[in-house]
Structure formats: C-alpha cells, structure tokens
Amino acid sequence: MSPSLSDQAKEMLAKANPAVISTVRSDGQPVSAATWYLLRGEEILVNMDEGRVRLKHMRKDPRVSLTVLDSDDWYTHVTVIGRVTRMYDDDGLADIDALSRHYSGQEYPQRDRRRVSAVIQVDRVHGWGSQKNNDQPDGSQ
C-alpha cells in the first residue's frame, strides 16, 4: 500500500472525476490535457490513441502528474505526481473499454484506431479542499 495515497484519496480517485494529465516535452516544457483515468490498486491507468503526442513525451520522460477534481466540489482535488512504469498496446481495447464504461457506461465507440495504455506509479500526492494533506494556508480567515 502506498503510504502517500490515503483511503480518502483512494475513495475519491475511484470515482469518474474530471482529470488533467501533465507530461514533459523534450524541451522541458510541461503540457497538460484532459484525460480519463482509472485507479487500479495503487497505480493509475490512462489510455491514449496511438497518435497522441503525449505518448512520445511519456516514452522520453516518464514523469507525469494527474490532477483529479472532485466532480461534486471542484475546490477539492488530488494531484498525483509519479512516473509511467509500463506502456503497452491495448490489444482488444480492453483498457479503453474499461475507462469508457467507468465514465460513460458503455464501451468505447471508436474501434478502428490502435490504443496504448500507460500505468502510473504514484510517488507523491497533493490534496486540497476536503483532501487537504499539507499545512499550507487555504486562504480562509
């Protein structure tokens, strides 16, 4: 069990919340994009179309962050800082189907493009709102 991922954070991450993933370009510039994710045990699964540039970023530099906003309270969020430890072809589209069912209740509709899955190992977690896990001031008086 990852000591930095609390049970409360896992409970939030288990929901189909909006999320943004950030990768690092070859020139060091961060790039972010909205994404679906799935918490799988202590790791996070993301999945991309074969043409996504962020695949190239992840292959060159596996460092990523994923910010997940609580869909019921966007002030509450969890940012996972980690690295991609595995990438593999999503043969049979099993992973994108699991993500699509999680977010939309049905299989992923586009079946004619190759997909690639990436597994993120959590190194650190930053929480805010009801997920606050640090002593930074929250601005309330």
Tokens of 82: 């980690």
Mean pLDDT for the stretch of residues 24-47: 96
Binning pLDDT at 50, 70 and 90, where does residue 127 land? confident
Q: Residue 22: helix, strand or coil by DSSP?
A: strand
Q: pLDDT tens, 68-126?
A: 999 998 888 999 999 999 999 999 999 999 999 999 999 999 999 999 999 999 999 98
Domain annotation for the chain: domains and CATH numbers? 7-131 (2.30.110.10)
Ordered DSSP codes for 61-103 = --EEEEEEEETTEEEEEEEEEEEEEEEEE-GGGHHHHHHHHHH
- Band (pLDDT 50/70/90 cuts) for residue 5 is confident
pLDDT at 2: 46
- The percentage of residues in the chain with a pLDDT greater than 70, rounded to a whole number, is 91
Give 136's pLDDT tier (boundaries 50, 70, 90). low
Q: What is the value of pTM for the model shown? A: 0.89
Q: Distance between CA atoms of 6 and 14, rounded to whole angstroms?
A: 12
Res 119: pLDDT: 98
What is the chain's mean pLDDT, rounded? 91
